[in-house]
Structure 1
Amino acid sequence: MTDLNLSHVSKGFGGTLAVEDFCLEAEPGEFIVLVGPSGCGKTTTMRMIAGLEDVTAGTIALGDLDITEVPARDRDVAMVFQNYALYPHMSVLDNIAFSLKMRGVSRDAREHQARDVAELLGISHLLGRKPRELSGGQRQRVALGRAIVRQPKLFLMDEPLSNLDAKLRVAMRAEIVKLQRQLGITTVYVTHDQVEAMTMGHRIVVMKDGVVQQIGTPEQIYDRPANRFVAEFIGTPPMNFASGEWAAEHDELRLWGEPVPLESARAARLRADVASGPIELGFRPEHVHLCSSSSPSTTSAIEVPVHIELIENVGNSRIVETVTPSGGALNAICASDFRGAVGDRLQLRVDVQHLHVFNQQHARVS
C-alpha cells in the first residue's frame, strides 16, 4: 500500500505549466527527495501536496484518502519551511507546542509532549529561550520539533537547511535522516543541492522545467541516468561529455575519431537504438585515468592526449581539469598522491565499461 500518491498532477499559472503530469507513489516511511534547479517546479509540487496551491489537473491521495480538494488545515501534514517561521515572542516550548494548542490539547498534555520532543532533538535546555537567542541550527531543531509534535501522516520539508553554514548543514542532514528513520514518517524533502539529495533520499525525483526527468534510488540515478540533464546535474564534479558517432558502415562506436571496443551484446543494443550519425558519450571523473604516453594501453579503454589546466586539492583527492587538443574540457578525480603539474601533457584514459551513450534527443541509450 502506498502512503502518498500523486497521479498525473499538473499546475498551471496563466498559460504556463509550472508542473506537468507529475506521478509518484511513496511507500510508508519512505524518504523522497525532490531535486532540481531553481524554477523546476519542486516547491510548487510540495505546496500542492500541502494544500497551499490548488491542483490544475490530477489527484493527490494520502493513504486511502483523496486530499486533492481538502483544505490545508485538514490534511494530516506537517511542513518545515526554509525560514523556520517561528513565533519571535514565544519561548521554544510554546513554539513547539503551538499546533497542539490550536487543536485544543490541554496545557499539561501539550507541554508534556513538547518536552518529549525537545528531549528527542536534544534541545531540552533551550525550552525557556526565545528564537532570537538561538543559533541557526537550534532554530532548525525547534522548527522540526513543532512538526514532529503533531505526529502527522506526512512530513514536508522545503529546503530546511539552506540558511545554515556548510559544516552545520552536513551535521543537520545526518540528524534529519536519523530522526526520520526513527520516527518512520513518510517524508518529502525539497532541495536544489544534489549532494543533499544523494545522501538523504531513499528515492530521488529529478525535475527540470516542471517535468520529472527520472525517479530512482541514489544508485540508480547516479549509475544509470535517464538522460543528459540528469547525468550532468547529479555528481560533483559533473559528468564529462564528448562528441562521438555511431559509424553504421563500420558497425562501430567512435570517440575522438577512434573505434571504441565494445562487448558484442552492448554493440548490438547500440546498433538497434542509435541511427548512424553524431551522438554524445559521458563518463564520470572518477572513471578517468591520467597516465604518461609510454604507459601500456588496455583493450577495454580508449584514450586522448590532454594537458593539465588546473589542479584542485580537496584533501583526500585531486580534481584535475584537463583540455584536449580540440579544446574540450575533461575532469579527472585522482588520488591525493597525484604528482602532475599544470601544463603537463598526459594521456587521459577511459574504461569503456563506464561510458554512457546519449542519442541526439539526449536520452540515455546505453
Structure 2
Amino acid sequence: MKKHTFMPNSVMEQLSVGILLFNEKNALVYINNAAEELLDISERKAIGAKAENLFETARFDINKVFQRSRQLGSKVTEHLVPIGHPVGTKRSVSLSATPLSNNSNDDEEELLVEIVDFNYYLQIDHDEKLLAQNELATNMLRGLAHEIKNPLGGIRGAAQLLSKELNGDFSDYIHVIIEEADRLRTLVDRMLGSSELPNHQYINIHVILERVRQLVEAEVNEKVIIRADYDPSLPDINADKDQLIQALLNVVRNATQAVQDGGEIILRTRIHRNFTIGDETRKLAVKIDVIDDGPGIEKEMQTKIFYPMVTGRTDGTGLGLSIAQTNVQRHSGIIEVASEPGHTVFSTILPLEKAG
C-alpha cells in the first residue's frame, strides 16, 4: 500500500506533532515522521496496520474513540493514551481524532489523528534542570579544585625540601606524603574531566560502540550478555572519537555493574527527531540507548546520579557518569536515565546538525 498523499508531505514531515490518517476500515494509510518516532515503528511496517495494533487496547479502546468522532462529526480528544514500546517501556500520548468531513451520518469516513507525547514537555523541563545542575556542580568543582590543588602543591614541595634537609632519613614517610598529594591532585583532575578541546571528525557511531563493546566484553564474565540493536541507516556524526568512547564506556560499564551476577545489556541506536535541550532545538539527533535488566536505580538516586562523587555502590568513585555527561554535553548532547526494577535505560542523545 502506498503512502497517502492527502496533504503536502514536505510540510507534514516537519511537524513535531504526530499525524496519522486512517481509512474507513480503521487501517493506517499515512504516517509522518513524528508519529513514527512516537510509536517507534517504520512507515513500511505501519502502513496498512489496524488502529488497535498501534495503540495498547487493554486499557484503551481506540475503535470506540474513532466511532464517537465519526458519529459526532467533530474532533474527539483523549489524554494519557498508553502506547507500547519495544523493550517494555511504556509511554503516554494525547490523541485527537477528527473526521475529514462533517457529515455525521457517514460512519465510514477517513479520520485524521494527531498524537503528542504527553511526556515531551516534562522531558524538556527535566533536561533543563539537569543541565543547570551539571553546570552548577562543574562550577563548584572548579572552585574547589583551585582551593585544593594550591595547598597540595605546597605540601608536595615542602615534602621534597624536607627530604633534602633530612638527607634521606624518614624517606618512606616523605614518599607517602608525595604519593598521596599526587593521588589527590589526580583525583581532582578526574573530577573536572579532560581539559582538552574536542577534536571533531566525522565518524560512524557504531564504530565507537563496537570499540566500547570490545573493551567491556574483555572485562565481564560469561554471565553478562551484551547485544547490539543498531540502525544501519544512521549518518556519521561530527564528534571527538576518544571523548565519546570514554563517555559511552563509562555508561556501559555502569550497566555491567548492575548485571554483574548475570543479565543482558542492549546497545541500541535510533534516529531521534525534534530534540530540544535548553533553548536549542535540533531536527535530527542520534540516540544511543544502553539498556540493562538489572535491579534498577532508586528514584531519588536518578536525580543525583550524574553529580560528581555520587554513587550507589560502596566501591564506586562516582566519577564515571559525571565525566560521561560532561563529554556528551561538549557535543551539545545530553544523557538521560529512566529506570525501574528489571529495566534501566541510559539514553545518550547527540545532535546531527546545528541548532535551529
The structure with the largest helix share of the pair is: 2
Could you say which structure has the greater relative contact order, defined with CA pairs below 8 angstroms and 6 or more residues apart?
Answer: 1
The structure with the largest strand share of the pair is: 1
Structure 1 or 2, whichever has the larger Rg, is 2
**Coarse TM-score class (shorter-chain normalised):** under 0.3
Q: TM-score, normalised by structure 2?
A: 0.27
Q: TM-score, normalised by structure 1?
A: 0.26
